[in-house]
Amino acid sequence: MDANYEVLFVQSGVAELAPCRVPEAGEGQLLIRTRVSLISPGTERAWFLGLPNTPGVFPQRSGYSNIGEVVQVGPGVEGWSVGRAGWPAAQTTPSS
């Protein structure tokens, strides 16, 4: 797998593009290569700025607002295949 990078909020108002390990898809999981991402103007911006509605603990990782391509299908996953578009969803499985 290629190198992997993440946007990491290292302190209030400071972000870095940092290398990180590429995980393997575990039981019931998909590994998705991000194609398009954004920093949300609400939650992630608040974390980036260390606003009072966040714990203000750094470093913090971003990355829940994205879409990409399935590159690995973990054991026990049905209805998904490598190459299909995928996106993160909080404990939900979208229907096709």
Mean pLDDT by 10 residues, the chain (96 residues): 82 94 90 89 92 90 87 96 86 46
> How much is the pLDDT for 56?
83
At 87 the three-state DSSP class reads coil
CATH C-level class of 4-86:
alpha beta
Evaluate if pTM is beyond 0.75.
Answer: no
Provide the greatest CA pair distance for the chain.
42
